[in-house]
A and B are shown apart, each in its own frame.
Chain A
Amino acid sequence: MTDSAALLPGTLDLLILKSVSLGKLHGYGVLLRIEQISGGALRIQQGALYPALYRLEHHGLIESEWGVSENNRRAKFYRLTSAGRARLGEEVASWNRLADAIALALRTKPQEV
């Protein structure tokens, strides 16, 4: 058993929104940021990142512009829009409610039933 875990379905969008909320990032940068902020615990199929980025951009939650990367190459940078920020807030709240509920359920002992 490895230390890293596969993403739950539907959580990639949330992680991308969180990553770009911390600063402007290119696609590869988003991947590294997710690894970084999850302590390397989350595994992402790298290619799957791009359809998710395009979907979020299509829905106006992030926006992109071409710029220059840290190694002086042309790269496309993403940043959060105000609609994306609002969505991130909703998603985080929803996730926390879900996580608390599951954690509560998993902490339950036989004598508490």
Chain B
Amino acid sequence: MKTLFARLRSYARQLWHSEAMSAEMDEEMRFHLEMEADRLQRERGLDATEARRQAAIAFGGLEKYRAAGQDARGLRWLSGLRLDLRLGGRMLVKHPALTVVGTIAVAFAIAVGSVGFEIARQALWPTIPLPDGNAIVALRNWNVIENAPVPASRRDYELWRDGLSTITNVSAIEVEERSIAVGAGPGQPETVANVTASTFALTRVPAMMGRTLLETDERGAEEVVVVGYDFWKTRLDGAADVVGRVIRISGTPVTIVGVMPRGYGFPQRNGVWRPLHLERIPEASPSLTYVVGRLAPGHSRENASVQAAAIGARTATMFPETHENVRLQVRSLPDAVSHWPERAAVVLTSINVFVVLLAALLCGNVAMLLFARAISRERELLVRAALGAGRGRLIMQLFAEALLLCAVGAVVGLLVARFVLARAWAMMEQQTGPLPFWIDTALSPTTILYAAGLTLFAAAIAGVVPAVKVTWGGVGRRLRAASSRGGGLQFGGVWTVIIVAQIAVTTMLPVPLIGVGADFTRETPAGFPAETFLTATLAIDRFDGQAASGDTVPALRAARLEASYRALADRLRQEPGVLDVTYADQMPLMRTRWRGIELDPGPAAQHSQPCSSCAGVVSGDPRFFDVVGARVIRGRALTTADAEHPTGAVLVNEFFVDYVMGGHNPIGRRVRYSSTRESTDESWYEIVGVVPDLGVSDNRGDYGRPRIYHATPPKETGPLRVAIHVRGDPQLYAVRLRELAQATDPALRVIDPKPMPRLAESVSAFWMALLVGFTGVTVMLSLAGVYAVTAFAVARRTREIGVRVALGAQPLHVLTTVFKRPLVQIALGIGVGAILALGLANNDLSDVQLDDFGMTAIFALSTILCCALACIVPTRRALRIQPTDALKDEG
């Protein structure tokens, strides 16, 4: 081990101090010569000049031993590499087109790879950014019959806290959404963690300002709160005197006692911590989101699991009515909070296989371009070989050039990855709720290392493969071939395979891409003037106060939500510019949740497609269609009576009539929901009317396109989304909506108010950008490859074309001969690609329509056009060449 360190140290010195080391070597050898000359003068009485001459002879060749000295340190190749990199840098400047194409290709592969790896890494091997964070574990009740977690109750928590000796600082956490108002401003939704004071002892993170929560706060009369860094910065303007200030949570004044440091968001990315008043929670109510603790010193998770299992078994005996099938588990914190690790291994593997394949494909293309460049430099390489450069040396030179190109691409790729990653996490947060606090949106050093590995892999493909090909067969044979000008290097069998594969994949690729893209990019017609509607979700905070006040009874909460909604709707209708207000659990233009359905016996459509009996289910205001201005086409509309007293009446859309009923009259027919996973809902619903298609997507993968509409009162509509019909720009009413909601009920939260058309935009814009980027890069690389092949084929035979034309050959005949090979390669690639695309289209995995084939055909045509373009310039030059000039080209 010691010798290994010594060698690494030696390499490092040579790398950073090579010039100083050479100077030291010279000095040392000079000292030797002078000492020997002194001795010769002293012992043999030689004069100084003769003594120096004799000393030099005794020493041997100074240069030879200097070189041998460098070799002995094992890094002579390093100075060669430095030279190669410098040469590579010049090549990047000299061939800008290749540099741009190669950089984009590698950057693309690195960006995709880094983003995929980083997401998978954070899901699979997260680093908990807390002191000794990996010792923090979560305790979880697991129902072994239903195979699902069961939230812990106060009783569970107390039993675990008192019974477990292998886990310390056992803490209970309840995470909820609350409306928080600062000063006189309107309330805004925030994720609040109600925690026992032990949570802060568990995480071992002190407050940045003020203090953390104390046990006395859990029982104290004064309501206190600790806020996070981001909340302090954004909502409290980073004020220095924030400790002691009062904010309102669901209308209740609470005093800020501390601010946590940047990056602290335990257990989720929450920014507010309140003391958990355990005594207010009913003993057996399963309401705790997390119970966490720290492994006691000297104990492992296995030890703790054994003890937890014993406690779990005892609890099951004590409380069979709630815990008969429940087992207590000790899980890692990431597992309990994110639930990702279970699936992450599969995701990680698939992502990496995809990335390596993508990188290989893209680098194959870059390799082809580099090979074409290497061929154009064949003479230079042969001269180097003739002057004594070995095959390894030449391979190293081409590898260094590719490495430099790939390194530039990697830097660009990592910058892009950083940007995309931030967007991807934001999107994930938008769709799945707050992310775990340890998710870091920046690229980790591990991912940068991974990217470095990918870069080396890319450089190996793009540099070594063409280098081996160029240097194959020995210098002598190459020299003869080059001087005879007949053969030389060709795009041979291996390259033919690469070119054909390249063109095939790029011809085929747009098809699934367009299929995937169709999902996000096809514009969904709203069917009504959606741009005049503001939409938002309403929610009510949990009530504050004693359990006796009923704050844990969902029915009371729902009733309060309904009352608040009705009051808010009345206030809104009195606002100038507001035309009407309505509600539903799903708005048009949103992807609707769908369920399997069953029709009563009677005429229906015959389908072979998957889920031909599925429908999107929407519940909401019976007046919804009136408010959005859509008339019932057939039958009757729903009424308030349908909402208040379940009559079993439902409406369906036109798509339902066409797709599910096969165009038959649906009025009076009955429908019920069925599901293989859930118990069958036995109630039958009667179709009483047909409404127009509102915001139904064009995407065949969306099983919710046939729709069934139920009338429900606001309290039974979950989530409660409101649609406010306004005059003018709906965005202008967003602030007013918050203000009115705050005035109506401080516990009423307004979530994500935005104009209705933007419901369809949030995800699609991002995917659209990715899709365009992906397709664009693929197409560009493919065309660059085609250009390289054809231009190379013509350029290699310029002289031959000139001679043939001079000897009277027909230009057309000459062109046919020259382009035969590249054209065959391109045609083969397009053919294989088209077959693959057809195969893919016949598969249900891809949502491909005839239009998409039209686009594929256009793409194939553009490939051929590009090929033709690549030929024009060199061909024109070749056809104009004079025989004398062609012969002069011999040298």
B-binding residues in A (CB < 8 A): 26-28, 31, 45-48, 50-52, 54-55, 57-61, 63, 69, 71, 73-76, 81-83
Contacts and interface: CB of A to CB of B under 8 A. Distances in A.
Interface of B: 2-7, 10, 24-25, 27-29, 31-32, 34-36, 38, 58-62, 64-65, 68-69, 71-74
Contacts of B61: 47
B65 A59 contact: no
Nearest to B6: A60
B63 to A, nearest CB: 10
A81 B58 contact: no
A58 B74 contact: yes
15 contacts: A27-B28, A31-B32, A47-B61, A47-B64, A51-B71, A54-B72, A57-B6, A57-B10, A58-B10, A58-B73, A59-B6, A60-B7, A63-B6, A69-B35, A75-B31
B69 A51 contact: yes
Nearest to B65: A47
A28 B69 contact: no
Contacts of A27: 28, 31-32
A16 to B, nearest CB: 12
Given A28-B32, A60-B7, A81 B65 contact: no
Given A28-B31, A46-B32, A76-B28, A83 B2 contact: yes
A54 B73 contact: yes
A103 to B, nearest CB: 32
A56 B206 CA distance: 53
Contacts of A61: 3
Contact of A47 (B2, B10, B60, B72): B60
Nearest to B32: A28
Given A47-B61, A50-B65, A83 B36 contact: no
B65 A28 contact: no
B76 to A, nearest CB: 11
Q: Which 10 A-B pairs have the closest CB atoms?
A: A60-B6, A47-B65, A47-B60, A55-B72, A51-B68, A60-B3, A54-B72, A51-B72, A28-B35, A46-B59
B59 A47 contact: yes
B29 A50 contact: yes
A73 B10 contact: no
B138 to A, nearest CB: 48
A24 B72 CA distance: 21
B38 A54 contact: no
Nearest to A60: B6
A4 B846 CA distance: 86
A83 B2 CA distance: 7
Nearest to A59: B3
Contacts of A73: 31, 34
Contacts of B35: 28, 69, 71
Contacts of B24: 76
B32 A52 contact: no
A60 B72 CA distance: 13
A28 B36 contact: yes
A61 B5 CA distance: 12
B27 A83 contact: no
Most buried by B among A28, A71, A74, A75: A28
B7 A46 contact: no
Contacts of B5: 60
Given A51-B68, A54-B73, A83-B2, 20 more contacts: A27-B31, A28-B31, A45-B60, A46-B32, A46-B60, A47-B59, A48-B65, A50-B28, A54-B69, A57-B6, A58-B6, A59-B7, A60-B4, A63-B6, A71-B38, A73-B31, A74-B27, A76-B28, A81-B6, A83-B6
Nearest to B38: A71
A74 B26 CA distance: 13
A83 B1 CA distance: 10
A57 B2 CA distance: 12
Contacts of B62: 47
Most buried by A among B7, B61, B72: B72
A67 B7 CA distance: 23
Contacts of A59: 3, 6-7
Contacts of A63: 6
Contact of B72 (A28, A58, A83): A58
Nearest to B5: A60
Contacts of B10: 57-58
Contacts of B69: 50-51, 54
Contacts of A48: 60, 65, 68
A80 B31 CA distance: 21
Contact of A26 (B4, B31, B71): B31
Contact of B58 (A46, A50, A51): A46
Most buried by A among B5, B7, B65: B65
A52 B65 CA distance: 10
A83 B9 CA distance: 15
Most buried by B among A46, A47, A59, A81: A47
Contacts of B32: 27-28, 31, 46, 50
Nearest to B55: A46
A75 B62 CA distance: 18
Most buried by A among B24, B35, B69: B35
Nearest to A57: B10
Contacts of B7: 58-60
B70 to A, nearest CB: 8
A26 B32 CA distance: 9
A60 B2 CA distance: 7
A73 to B, nearest CB: 6
A46 B40 CA distance: 14
B2 A82 contact: yes
B817 to A, nearest CB: 58
B31 A69 contact: yes
A27 B31 CA distance: 9
Nearest to A26: B31
A84 to B, nearest CB: 9
Contact of A51 (B34, B38, B65): B65
A7 B699 CA distance: 85
Contacts of B4: 60
A29 to B, nearest CB: 9
Contacts of B34: 73
Most buried by A among B5, B6, B62: B6
A94 B333 CA distance: 57
Contacts of B36: 28, 46
A51 B69 CA distance: 4
Contacts of A28: 31-32, 35-36
A63 B6 CA distance: 9
A61 B60 CA distance: 25
Contacts of A71: 35, 38
A47 B32 CA distance: 9
B48 to A, nearest CB: 15
B77 to A, nearest CB: 14
Contact of B25 (A45, A50, A69, A83): A50
B72 A52 contact: yes
Contacts of A83: 2-3, 6
Contacts of A55: 72-73
Contacts of A45: 60
B8 to A, nearest CB: 10
Nearest to B31: A75
A76 B31 CA distance: 9
Contacts of A81: 2, 6
Nearest to A76: B28
A52 B69 CA distance: 8
Contacts of A57: 6, 10
